[in-house]
Copies of this chain bind each other. A is one copy, B any other.
């Protein structure tokens, strides 16, 4: 029997010195909390938004990392200071301040930097605020008056999904709002997980977060294509035509499949990866650290293969989900899930077996509660994917096949944002490649539609429920360090050539053209030219090919932001308008859509502004941002919970190594497969490969006797 253990990576004891990249410990979180409470004094209430590690300045960290990797680390090695960055509200003190930030040196407990974020920016939303929203609605006279207009069926109660407000209208004097999407839940089963999304209600209450009051009720159109922008076409018995849409097994109403036999992924000797000291991961020549922030979720740092530097940092930077239904106020359905709320905050507690197979460990993520105390969640999981064929070759003359399986190490976290789920995974393989994968699942956002109608703005996935068309646009931030920090980004294309007697007489030649990126710019995908982005080190040459070492990726030509360039949606999401952004490294410049996305009117200090600086990026410390998306026009198969949609960014070495780095992976006979009697084994336990059964290509003897045809 397999004896896999799932173990928690132990939190650091107070006696060991943290690595500069280790996430905060519970104790450090507490230190920061206490410092801030002391600083602000006992006459004010502090509501914490976040406390997390303030990553060191790059120059300081690189110095430390160099010493670490060269084995010269000692007690004399200068260490970047351990600093916690806290974001919090000083309740009811200064209305010109959106929120306050303090940087606390964790050795001294001193505040080393302070910022009062001005009111025209809005703080991200916190779990506390999400939690409180529904209750505020239920207590509001304005809300109740609106709800009373509807004749809800017996046994149904209203439930409110909290959302960020989206882009305010031009002339709107907008305090910090939240908006609520309303649905009704059938309580008659007594099951709290009955799916309320089947019963959408056409109102959106607006909360002023400062006053704690519902200040407005937005009305939603429920018409069909014949109704244009018209409102009020619905009846009071607004849900009578709707249908249940359960997904939890006991309410499903149909039996579960019974013909699925057990399939187990087992590692009888334990996993091949090693996790130490909270954050250090080692596996198959890879060595890197895993970070975690409330905004980004899991991040990778100091990623090296066989001791060589590949990436300084890799992260999900931002995502936006604009809706394409033009009927107001749906233009305000445009969340920035990282900036508005925080992927780290929204990350699921991962449980054994369901999300990842095989041997599982998990990283503990430390985050602050509203009172600043630390809570520990098991949000990030490393595990191994069995993979499929890594490489194979059969010598047709001898019939000998050598084949290896490609395993991948997966660092995964899953976030839930009300109705939607996103599964994020960093995948590293044995051939030196890194992938970032995003998967969308969960429940599509629906609004009420009158019975019998259809709409050009979405699909009726359930009677009375219109799943609106929308996009999901993601941005990954790649901070490369290809054999060092000074890199050059090159755009490479494969282009047709004219026929010519001197150069291309038969017309089959094609040109591979490289264009270096000299100043910061954006680049769009162009797969029809095989446009590839190479991140090179122009000072390091591959000794075999003579070319600069590099890593590369092919940007997918997915659809970019559809919203009109003059729309507030486009102004808020400049990042979503091009596939690749190349910028010069700047400490703290982590967020493609800018630092403040919640309720923004435009993108500020995101990649668009960074590129506008026109920095020289050739042979410099560059950052490459990759944007890709999914235009999601829902189908009925996406209901009630959608099958995953998968997107992958694949970053692979290109003349970085002198040969396939996985050439030394043993060919593996899978020990769990039993041979049928008489069949030859193709691999033995030591990894040596025996001669395979005769390949069909060997054929029979050459000459045939015409008389016997033998």
Residues A696 and B345 in contact, CB atoms below 8 Å apart = yes
Which residues A246-304 have CB closer than 8 A to chain B?
247-250, 252, 254-257, 259-272, 284
Residues A659 and B681 in contact, CB atoms below 8 Å apart = no
> Which residue of B47, B456, B654, B683 is within 8 Å of A635 (Cβ)?
B654
The closest CB in chain B to the CB of A459 belongs to B545
Residue of A345, A407, A709 ringed by the most chain B CB atoms within 10 A: A709
Does A542 interact with chain B (Cβ within 8 Å)?
yes
> Which residue of B443, B462, B567 is within 8 Å of A393 (Cβ)?
B443
CA distance A34 to B571 in the complex (A): 76
Does A416 interact with chain B (Cβ within 8 Å)?
yes
Which residues A348-371 have CB closer than 8 A to chain B?
348-349, 351-355, 357-360, 367, 369-371
> Which residue of B268, B416, B494, B664 is within 8 Å of A559 (Cβ)?
B494
* Given A130-B699, A459-B547, 7 other A-B residues pairs in contact with their CB atoms under 8 A: A369-B700, A394-B421, A429-B643, A457-B509, A494-B633, A506-B568, A545-B636
The closest CB in chain B to the CB of A348 belongs to B394
The closest CB in chain B to the CB of A672 belongs to B264
The closest CB in chain B to the CB of A701 belongs to B370
What residues of B have a CB within 8 angstroms of the CB of A512 in the complex? 456, 469, 633
What residues of B have a CB within 8 angstroms of the CB of A284 in the complex? 257, 259-260
Does A229 interact with chain B (Cβ within 8 Å)?
yes
CA distance A449 to B143 in the complex (A): 78
What residues of B have a CB within 8 angstroms of the CB of A637 in the complex? 431-432, 652-657, 659-661
Does A644 interact with chain B (Cβ within 8 Å)?
yes
The closest CB in chain B to the CB of A662 belongs to B643
Does A153 interact with chain B (Cβ within 8 Å)?
no
Does A174 interact with chain B (Cβ within 8 Å)?
no
CA distance A562 to B494 in the complex (A): 8
Oligomeric state, in copies: 2
> Which residue of B245, B266, B353, B655 is within 8 Å of A683 (Cβ)?
B353
CA distance A78 to B319 in the complex (A): 59
> Which residue of B45, B265, B393, B680 is within 8 Å of A670 (Cβ)?
B265
Residues B268 and A264 in contact, CB atoms below 8 Å apart = yes
Does A76 interact with chain B (Cβ within 8 Å)?
no
Task: Give the interface segment out of A478-486, A497-505, A583-591, A616-624.
Answer: A497-505
Taking the closest CB of chain B, its distance from the CB of A533, in whole angstroms, is 14
Residues A670 and B510 in contact, CB atoms below 8 Å apart = no
Residues B352 and A673 in contact, CB atoms below 8 Å apart = yes
Closest 4 CB pairs of A and B: A326-B509, A507-B567, A507-B564, A45-B706
Taking the closest CB of chain B, its distance from the CB of A359, in whole angstroms, is 8
What residues of B have a CB within 8 angstroms of the CB of A399 in the complex? 349
The closest CB in chain B to the CB of A710 belongs to B371
CA distance A542 to B442 in the complex (A): 22
CA distance A459 to B534 in the complex (A): 15
The closest CB in chain B to the CB of A653 belongs to B637
CA distance A433 to B441 in the complex (A): 16
With an 8 Å Cβ cutoff, the count of chain A residues facing the other chain is: 230
Residues A660 and B643 in contact, CB atoms below 8 Å apart = yes
What residues of B have a CB within 8 angstroms of the CB of A325 in the complex? 508-509
Does A117 interact with chain B (Cβ within 8 Å)?
no
What residues of B have a CB within 8 angstroms of the CB of A509 in the complex? 324-326, 457
Residues A706 and B91 in contact, CB atoms below 8 Å apart = yes
User: In the complex where A272-B259, A698-B131 touch, is A229 in contact with B267 (Cβ < 8 A)?
Assistant: no
Does A689 interact with chain B (Cβ within 8 Å)?
yes
- Proximity string of chain A (1-24) to chain B, C-beta cutoff 8 Å, 1 when within and 0 when not: 011111110000000000000000
Residues A416 and B261 in contact, CB atoms below 8 Å apart = no
CA distance A505 to B564 in the complex (A): 10
Residues A559 and B528 in contact, CB atoms below 8 Å apart = yes
> Which residue of B260, B419, B642 is within 8 Å of A391 (Cβ)?
B642
The closest CB in chain B to the CB of A40 belongs to B709
Residues A261 and B256 in contact, CB atoms below 8 Å apart = no
User: In the complex where A494-B562, A676-B7 touch, is A263 in contact with B386 (Cβ < 8 A)?
Assistant: yes
What residues of B have a CB within 8 angstroms of the CB of A7 in the complex? 676
Does A72 interact with chain B (Cβ within 8 Å)?
no
Does A454 interact with chain B (Cβ within 8 Å)?
yes
User: In the complex where A127-B698, A499-B564 touch, is A265 in contact with B345 (Cβ < 8 A)?
Assistant: no
User: In the complex where A264-B672, A379-B696 touch, is A544 in contact with B463 (Cβ < 8 A)?
Assistant: yes
CA distance A268 to B261 in the complex (A): 8
What residues of B have a CB within 8 angstroms of the CB of A546 in the complex? 454, 460
Does A511 interact with chain B (Cβ within 8 Å)?
yes
User: In the complex where A499-B567, A669-B354, A700-B369 touch, is A400 in contact with B248 (Cβ < 8 A)?
Assistant: yes
What residues of B have a CB within 8 angstroms of the CB of A559 in the complex? 494, 527-530
Does A210 interact with chain B (Cβ within 8 Å)?
no
Residues B386 and A349 in contact, CB atoms below 8 Å apart = no
Does A145 interact with chain B (Cβ within 8 Å)?
no
Taking the closest CB of chain B, its distance from the CB of A191, in whole angstroms, is 9
What residues of B have a CB within 8 angstroms of the CB of A380 in the complex? none
Residues A655 and B459 in contact, CB atoms below 8 Å apart = yes
CA distance A372 to B700 in the complex (A): 11
Task: Give the interface segment out of A58-66, A106-114, A327-335.
Answer: A327-335
What residues of B have a CB within 8 angstroms of the CB of A47 in the complex? 704
Taking the closest CB of chain B, its distance from the CB of A567, in whole angstroms, is 3
CA distance A388 to B387 in the complex (A): 11
Q: Can you spell out 7 A-B residue pairs with CB atoms less than 8 angstroms apart?
A: A91-B706, A245-B659, A326-B508, A351-B692, A357-B405, A431-B643, A640-B663
User: In the complex where A132-B702, A670-B265 touch, is A709 in contact with B37 (Cβ < 8 A)?
Assistant: yes
Does A390 interact with chain B (Cβ within 8 Å)?
yes
Does A236 interact with chain B (Cβ within 8 Å)?
no
Residues B261 and A270 in contact, CB atoms below 8 Å apart = yes
CA distance A696 to B379 in the complex (A): 9
User: In the complex where A386-B357, A460-B546, A510-B562 touch, is A393 in contact with B442 (Cβ < 8 A)?
Assistant: yes
> Which residue of B159, B351, B460, B692 is within 8 Å of A681 (Cβ)?
B351
Which residues A532-590 have CB closer than 8 A to chain B?
542, 544-547, 556-560, 562-564, 566-570
> Which residue of B229, B497, B655 is within 8 Å of A636 (Cβ)?
B655
What residues of B have a CB within 8 angstroms of the CB of A271 in the complex? 261
Does A377 interact with chain B (Cβ within 8 Å)?
yes
> Which residue of B378, B403, B459 is within 8 Å of A355 (Cβ)?
B403
